[in-house]
Structure 1
Amino acid sequence: MLHIVLFGPPGSGKGTQAERLVRTHHFVSLSVGLLLRQQVAENGPDKALIEQYMHHGRLVPDAISLKLVLQVIQAQPVAQSILYDGFPRNVNQATYLDAVLPTYHKKIDAVIFLDVPEALLLERLRNRAIIEGRIDDQDDTKIRTRMDTYARETLPVINYYQSQHKLHKVDGSQQPDQIAQIIEAILASYGNT
């Protein structure tokens, strides 16, 4: 059983690598972005508030995100490996996760950080907007707000996990297959998933 955080800025390739890991290692994928988009699509109780934050490229309040995350964690057997796709998004969420996981006999084992230059991220996000039609990728102002929010609120999570000696930095500008090989080597160093 492994609990891995896959971390990186918008457009870093987290989704692509997460899909591979779920397919090859049978992780349960815990993607807050996906959970939030599902809440909107299913007219969940917090739909209007979630849409308001997402529309402006801002992080949804922790109370909403943490509630959704906890529901997924509680639903898993102890032996199930979980891939935290783009979560935690700030230090408050990281400390919450460290506090709550032991209750379920779990802990974060490793954090894989996909590091990508900003110019390449912007190019990828614009392409994703065309291909997938994602609203949060279609406007340069929204993209810039997301990048600024990421730098201000999410980047400090790197230091948080680095201080715990759990951080693995990966050059996310490489081809997806190369990134996947590096991630596989990192996972192999922790044993079986």
Structure 2
Amino acid sequence: MLNLVLFGPPGAGKGTQSAKLIEKYNLVHISTGDLFRMHIKEDTELGKRVKQILADGLLVPDSVTIDMLEEEVKKNPQANGFIFDGFPRTVAQAEALDVFLTKNGEKINGVVQLDVTEEEIKNRIAERKKISGRADDDEDKLLKRIDEYFSKTIHVLPYYEKQGKVASVNGIGEIDNIFNGICAAIDAVK
């Protein structure tokens, strides 16, 4: 089984690249952001709890996120592997993911960090907002999410670097060139 973490700030291209990776490696994509948006849209109890937290541009508590993620993994017992997008965002989440996967005889094979400048991120999200109309792409919320990434989430990388699992890929350029860089990093850990 191939389990990957796709790592990068909001707007780095994780969703775009995940779609291509799913097709090439036949993986199941688990985006915590997509899951939260689905729960909000369906007005579930989780959706109601998460809606205000996301509206404020903050991170959902680890326990809620981890429970939701484990539920998604269990829904796909025949998967060839998973792409974790937007998770883990804290060291505690990374540790919990390792414990969960180990209990199931699995592990994170690699972490691909998409390296993108803050200016590029802002430009991409401005374009994405025109197309998708996502509420979390509001400029004030975006700045909070970028700040959360660089003040909190970025600290997850050393956790995986100590395990020798991080590959940094330039996330600026043509989509296919970025994809080829990601595939080279993945093929090195398969």
Task: Say whether the 8 Å CA contact 1:78–1:106 is kept in structure 2.
Answer: no
Counterpart position of 1:96 = 96
**CA deviations over 1:22-61 (Å, ceiling 9, x no partner):** 1121101111111111111111112222110111111111
Task: Say whether the 8 Å CA contact 2:27–2:79 is kept in structure 1.
Answer: no
Counterpart position of 2:131 = 131
Q: How does 1:144-155 map to 2 (within 5 A)?
A: 144-155=143-154
Does residue 1:121 correspond to 2:95, yes or no?
Answer: no
Task: Say whether the 8 Å CA contact 1:74–1:104 is kept in structure 2.
Answer: no
Counterpart position of 1:52 = 52
Letter in 1 for 2:176: D
Provide the TM-score with structure 2 as the length reference: 0.96
Counterpart position of 1:28 = 28
* 2:100 alignment partner, SS class: helix
Letter in 2 for 1:18: S
1:79: how far off?
A: 5.9
Provide the TM-score with structure 1 as the length reference: 0.94
Counterpart position of 2:14 = 14
Task: Say whether the 8 Å CA contact 1:78–1:105 is kept in structure 2.
Answer: no
Task: Say whether the 8 Å CA contact 1:12–1:116 is kept in structure 2.
Answer: yes
1:189: how far off?
A: 1.8
**CA deviations over 1:123-161 (Å, ceiling 9, x no partner):** 1111111111011112x2111111111112200011111
Counterpart position of 2:105 = 105
Counterpart position of 2:172 = 173
Letter in 1 for 2:157: I
Write the distance in 2 (CA, Å) between the matches of 1:89 and 1:118: 18
Counterpart position of 1:161 = 160
The alignment of Structure 1 onto Structure 2 pairs a total of residues equal to: 190
174-183 or 107-116, which moves further after superposition?
Answer: 174-183
1:78: how far off?
A: 6.5
Write the distance in 1 (CA, Å) between the matches of 2:183 and 2:147: 31
Write the distance in 2 (CA, Å) between the matches of 1:120 and 1:183: 19
Write the distance in 2 (CA, Å) between the matches of 1:166 and 1:129: 33
Counterpart position of 1:183 = 182
Write the distance in 2 (CA, Å) between the matches of 1:48 and 1:74: 23
Write the distance in 1 (CA, Å) between the matches of 2:187 and 2:149: 29
Write the distance in 2 (CA, Å) between the matches of 1:124 and 1:187: 25
Q: After TM superposition, which residue ranges in structure 1, 4 or more long, deviate above 6 angstroms?
A: none
Write the distance in 2 (CA, Å) between the matches of 1:186 and 1:149: 26
Task: Say whether the 8 Å CA contact 1:4–1:82 is kept in structure 2.
Answer: yes
Write the distance in 2 (CA, Å) between the matches of 1:80 and 1:44: 29
When the two chains are superposed, the root-mean-square deviation of aligned CA atoms in Å is 1.2
